[in-house]
Structure 1
Amino acid sequence: MTCAAAAVIVSRLADPAAHAQVPAAAVDLGPGQSQAALMREQPVPDAAPTPAWEEERGVEAYFRNWFRRVALAQSEQPGWVAALVAPPPFLVEQMRYDQYIEHLGNDASVQNFGVNKGLQLIPDTTEEIDINIPPYQQRQNKNPATGFGDWQFALFKQRLLSAGPNDGNYVLSGWITATAPIGASKFTNHVFFVNPNIGGGKGFGDFDIQATFGPSIPTSQSHLYGTSLVSNLVFQYRFEKVIWPEVEFNWTDWLNGTQHGGSNQVLMTVGAVLGKFTIHDRFGVALGVGYQFPLTPAFRTEPALLPVYQRNWIVSLRTPF
């Protein structure tokens, strides 16, 4: 990338309001809105005749029309908010910071700062790319330790099917993540993991159901860690437009491996997300809080600790844009 192109990128992201040129009708993405046709009909607001904004080419045009493209992508899918734990099957553009306060069955407690969240972007009308920061963890009470955990450095999502709130209110997507073993010795698995996933959801008025499923596959030492199947089921409701109470079931089934092979774990998460509260134009803030606890199995320490914790307090701060 040339210095000129880099300067264009920085200027667009630093001052999006000055370059986005998004009509007021296209940036209000409240639940229930569907304006895909309107977005496609909007010409670029220049004095001279120009092609439709979707047909423009070049780096500068790409970033000038960034928020138009995001608005179009979001108008063609449900207007839900991302759940507290389960990955969203729809496209999301926001900054996200999560924190877990975990209490383990062996009397240790772990604080997880970041939880592999970060910048979530919609570079195209059917795609999402996440740029995450590695989590920082602090263990207390038993075997104290601090340091970074393994880093989920890559996420690419492709939306396959979708319809806006007034056109069917459903979504189906596939995505893949990769996790690198960069963590401190007390927090790393020492191997890379690859996680292909598929997820979808259907809305019924203010109520929606979301589900995701995918394997977690180690690239080496599979005899130790094994392959696990990770599933999530979310029941979510919208109350007074900005209150989203939810119940989640987070299930992991280890198919093999000496640590957990043949075991399964089911966690239940209850909580709510408040927002989005608009700050300026497209920019807003949302806050989620939740409590997670195991339903099964019974506590054990050998051959490895299971369930992974006895209770977990969750805080999630998002800044959608």
Structure 2
Amino acid sequence: MRLIEKVWFQGHVAKWLYVPLLFPLTVMFAIISFLRRIAYQVGLLKRIKISVPIVVVGNIGIGGNGKTPTTLYLVEKLTEQGLKVGVVSRGYGSKAPHYPYQVSHESNAEQAGDEPLLIFKRTGVPVVIGADRVQACQRLVDLGCELIIADDGLQHYRLARDFEFVVVDGKRLFGNGLLLPSGPLRETTSRINSANCVIVNGESSWPCNGSKLSIPVLTMQLKAKQVINVKSGVVIALETFLTTQLTRDKTINALAGIGDPQRFFNTLEHLGFNLALAKGFIDHQAFTADDLQAFSQDIPLLMTEKDAVKCAGFAQDNFWYLPVDADFSTNNELISNVINNIVRLVPKSI
């Protein structure tokens, strides 16, 4: 974890240097962010309405909060309702030959970005990336999509939206509560109440009675059922992998290039693995074979699905990844109501 992230989320002693030093920039960021949002609200800046409903899955801070598992869940449930769903993403870190760029079976993580490629490989629905979300959404409309899910993009106000999810990391929450760069927030926590639904990823003490949220709150857990070999695609049930695949007291190596690598490592330990070497990288790390030289090939190397799409080109036999699924079983009725409300946004489904 970078030092600045330790300041944001762990109260590192360096906060006494960083926060005062960066606070003038935070004030400037807050003013610009506020004025920009107001400009869209009063019409000084134009919002573009796409001809199909737009559902945004985003957050008010930086880093991994569980947006991609949420997007995967929504794609699955809405597709089950008979809708042709598409996904739009900025494609952070991508180097596509052109934009908007439609992710395909020939795409790699460098071209498409890790999360868009993951979503396409998992779901098979049309996925288009581009900094201009409006243009990317129009491409999806041209492909026949009836509803579009915007993976991230809560602050992309130029794109008009019909439904907003705000995903909150139940463990890290809002860090020190400050806006960038003194803290991890893009917008203040009051922004949450203007969304349609908030999803809390993992067990959390938030929201408490004093939070005064006026929108539905769903609790999401990330569940793992299997492991998949990065090189061969072989799928093994998690319990089988734990009992028969490992020979050294369930010992593995692990890596994670996500917003909170320690969360992944804690999950592995909770599942029963013993971690010989666990190495965290920055979010969206562009892996090379050299980055993985420290890991022994004698025991399995377990990584996230997001990391696997970037390591596929140089995968070894001992590379495995742990796909996770969003589980809303504690909120079955509420999530069903939310899904039904989204389905009703599509005219033919009324």
Give the TM-score normalised by the residue count of structure 2.
0.27
Q: Which has the higher helix share?
A: 2
Give the TM-score normalised by the residue count of structure 1.
0.29
Higher relative contact order by CA 8 Å / sep ≥ 6: 1 or 2?
Answer: 2
